[in-house]
Structure 1
Amino acid sequence: MPSAPITRSTLRQQLAEALRDEVLAGRLPAGRPFTVKEIAEQYGVSATPVREALVDLAAQGLLDADHHRGFRVQEITLADFTAMVEARTLVIEGIFRTAAFAGGLDRTPEALASVRRRAEAARRAAVAGDLDVLIGYDLRFWRELGEFVGNPYVSEFLDRLRVQCWVFTVPLLRARGADLRGLLWAGHLELVAAIEQGDVAGAERSITAYNAHALALGRALACG
């Protein structure tokens, strides 16, 4: 079967995802300016889809656009990070207060099995201190979990906050050196187990622990 053609919109999305990965990997450090031309030459594509992808990432809060100098990765402060974690906490608390979470989530066996696989992989990476592997699985885990709520606006908002939180913590974690064992949150499986059992209180405790861990880690890294 022939592969689907790569359309301009598909290329735009692929570039946005690739550049987001570059930011999360720390290869596009915060504050350093770069131009559309530089990125287009790096990926061997025309300027138009690159510009569109960069505009998309700027709209997501990952990049700052400078009309004269191009783009730069947004510099996220500890105050920004704290506000982001507090914002996602408030949204998730609102989800828990709704009857939808208790009985109306789309928890099909297939969806739960997929989330559990992400959780297992994320936990292994977190315990091993493998940051690069953890980021990908952690984001996919939360993204799939967010789909259970059935509200794409809430899911997109929370996903954006998590990406921005990683942008803040990744360079600080890398500055600590290679051994990150014991530093990274590894409660993914406990959360999945609570959801599988319909244990709303248990799920809420897991997510509260997740947010508390994020705040404590962010502050320790920034101030240490």
Structure 2
Amino acid sequence: MGPSGGVTRSTLRQQIADALRDEVLAGRLPPGREFTVKQIAVQYGVSATPVREALFDLSAQGLLASDQHRGFQVREFSVADYRAMTEARALVVEGLFRDPAARVAVRPDSLASIRRRAAEAVRAAKGGDLDVLIGYDLRFWRELGQFVLNPYIADFLTKLRVQAWMFAVHRLRGENGEGADGSALWDGHEELVEAIARGDHEQVHATLHSYYAHALAWADRLEAQGR
């Protein structure tokens, strides 16, 4: 576990939180890994205060568990947790599309950027490039979340997607630790963004339904395999 670059004093708290989140999502900080504020502070060569704040931020996001005696631990999520995350996301999105005109406002000027994220995510999914996929997938959904008029809903969905990737990353790795189980990688990003661009709410809803059904089917397979 090492920093990927220098950390400036002006944004220490956020930079440390972002760096540790990236380590978790890349699988370099596995579930159950324990560490203390002091260890992270020494690693990054900074004082304890911004590290403590960053770790509490990640704990609030559900990525870490904290214990006043043992420090912090990377959260472990079960298949049941993953299924619950997926169902929660599906229920929230279902609610958004009961009255999309009142809850969702698409900004056409943002679609070009989202299309680029979608294309990169699909390319990574089809190539089994998990590290690239996670980054583009999270950016894709985060940018789509800007269309949701209720910011609390958008933040909630982002939080669940990060947690879902935390659960998935180790289970998707191939035996060599680099490849990914391609059958579990959803690649409908471009289909979704084009339906949004057309204003085709029925197709948007159908694509999202397929997305969540895909995730739940993978959870069923994992459960059957005892993983």
Q: Same fold (TM over 0.5)?
A: yes
Q: CA deviation at 1:221?
A: 3.2
Question: What letter matches 1:122 in structure 2?
Answer: A
TM-score, normalization: structure 1? 0.91
3-state SS, counterpart of residue 62 of structure 2: coil
Q: CA deviation at 1:26?
A: 1.1
Is 1:89 equivalent to 2:90 in the alignment? yes
Identity of aligned residues (%): 60
Is 1:106 equivalent to 2:106 in the alignment? yes
Question: What letter matches 1:16 in structure 2?
Answer: A
Q: Structure 2 unaligned runs (5+)?
A: 1-6
Matched residue, 2:19: 18
1:64-213 to 2 correspondence within 5 Å? 64-100=65-101, 105-108=105-108, 110-177=109-176, 178-213=179-214
**The 10-residue stretch of structure 1 (33-42 or 66-75) with the greater mean CA deviation from structure 2:** 33-42
Partner Cα separation in structure 2 for residue 78 and residue 180 of structure 1: 16
Count, aligned residues:
217
Matched residue, 2:4: none
Deviations 1:102-159 (A, max 9, x none): 8x51322x20111101000000000000000000000000000011112211110000
Deviations 1:74-128 (A, max 9, x none): 11111111111100000000001114268x51322x2011110100000000000
Partner Cα separation in structure 2 for residue 90 and residue 14 of structure 1: 33
Matched residue, 1:52: 53
TM-score, normalization: structure 2? 0.90
Q: CA deviation at 1:218?
A: 2.9
- The answer to whether the 8 A contact 1:127-1:182 is kept is no
3-state SS, counterpart of residue 184 of structure 2: coil
Partner Cα separation in structure 1 for residue 219 and residue 48 of structure 2: 36
Partner Cα separation in structure 1 for residue 78 and residue 206 of structure 2: 27
Structure 1's 132 and 156: CA in aligned 2 closer, same or farther, altered over 3 A?
Answer: same
**The 10-residue stretch of structure 1 (19-28 or 132-141) with the greater mean CA deviation from structure 2:** 19-28
Q: Structure 1 unaligned runs (5+)?
A: none
3-state SS, counterpart of residue 64 of structure 1: strand
Question: What letter matches 1:107 in structure 2?
Answer: R
- Report the aligned-residue RMSD: 1.8
Partner Cα separation in structure 1 for residue 220 and residue 45 of structure 2: 40
